[in-house]
Amino acid sequence: MITLTPHGGNAYSMPPPSVGNMAVPNQGMHRYPPPHQNQQFRPRHTFFQPFRPYVRGVAALDPEFDGKRLRKSAMRKTVDYNSAIIKMLETRVWQRDFRDRRALQPDVLYMPDLQPPPAYDDNAINAVTTRFVKAATNKMRCPIFCMAWTPEGRRLVTGASSGEFTLWNGLTFNFETILQAHDSPVRTMVWSHNDVWMVTADHAGYVKYWQSNMNNVKMFLAHKEAIRGIR
């Protein structure tokens, strides 16, 4: 190959020097000594291993770790009815009946106008809320004879045949507290008109007075047989 120089002379270009095969190192190239020749060189593994503490670069097992996997958390479906009740309380000032109520359409934009079933007296099919039906099972399977909502509407109290009271959460439908209330099956329970006392009766004829915090303050024998209703 001929190239032109700035001085106008002709010169033959020299081929590039041979570098050999770069995949195979030459004898003169520097290489790390093998581990048995140089004890100071040790490969370090700096990658992260979760749930294993490090002790001088070596993973050590935690003596407190029992080897059990964590239980996968399940999200409970919550039925929050507070917004619908507040909407009904706000609109009852000017809403006489269904003629003043805004019509609902099957769209998400109409969800703020949704009200509880008692507000739709003209359309009773709205009271059939089959979508929110949920079955909740107690730890001890036994028949439930009576139930009553707390005055604030946040919990549900059930009376079982074993004499136990079970407090259920009104939003997530999981049990919160279980207490032994009677020695015989609980037959009826009702709240007083001022929402201060809850009166319960059992199959043996005993009547008990309870506070809102489930504290028993009074008990007496009312009948010799089962009491099935209190008003």
- The domain limits of the chain are 82-132, 144-221
Q: What is the CATH number of domain 144-221?
A: 2.40.10.480
The pTM of this model reads 0.57
| Assigned token pair, 123 | 């359309």
Structure tokens at 218: 């009074």
Q: Using CA atoms, how far apart are residues 94 and 72, in angstroms rounded to an integer? A: 49
What are the residues whose beta carbons fall under 8 Å from the beta carbon of 127, sequence distance 6 or more?
A: 117, 118, 120
Full pLDDT tens readout for the chain, 231 residues:
445 555 545 555 566 666 555 555 555 555 555 555 555 555 555 555 555 555 554 445 555 555 555 666 666 677 788 888 899 999 988 888 888 888 888 888 988 888 888 888 888 887 787 777 777 787 788 899 999 999 988 899 999 999 999 999 888 888 888 999 999 999 999 999 999 999 999 999 999 999 988 899 999 999 999 999 998
Q: What type of residue sits at position 119?
A: A
Tokens of 86: 């507040």
Residue 47 tokens read as: 């990658």
